[in-house]
Amino acid sequence: MPDNSATLITKSIKFEDIKVDEEQEQPLIEHDMPDENQAIDECAARGLPSIAEEETKTLVLSNGVLESLQSTCDASNVVARLQDKLQLNQAALADPGPETTRMIRCIATIAKNENRLDVVQHLRQITPAGTTGPLLPGRLDVREIRQSQIRDLTISLCGGEDWKLVAEKLGLRPNEISFLDKRTKNPCMETLVHSRNQRFINVDTLYNVLVECGLPRLADLL
Q: Would you list the DSSP string of 67-135? A: HHHTSS--HHHHHHHHHHHHT--HHHHHS--HHHHHHHHHHHHHHHHTT-HHHHHHHHHHS-TTSS--S
pLDDT > 70 fraction of the chain, expressed in percent and rounded: 72
Q: What is the largest CA-CA distance in the chain?
A: 67
With 90 as the cut, is the pLDDT of residue 112 above it? yes
Q: Are 98 and 68 a contacting pair, CB within 8 Å?
A: no
Q: Residue 85 CA to chain centroid, in angstroms?
A: 28
Reported as a pLDDT band with limits 50, 70 and 90, residue 8 is very low
* Three-class SS state of 6: strand
Backbone CA torsion sign across 64, 70, 72, 77: positive
With 60 as the cut, is the pLDDT of residue 93 above it? yes
Q: Are 195 and 172 a contacting pair, CB within 8 Å?
A: yes
Question: What pLDDT is recorded for position 217?
Answer: 96
Least confident of 22-26, 70-74, 82-86: 22-26
Q: Return the CA Rg of the chain.
A: 20
pLDDT in tens, 96-107: 999 899 889 989
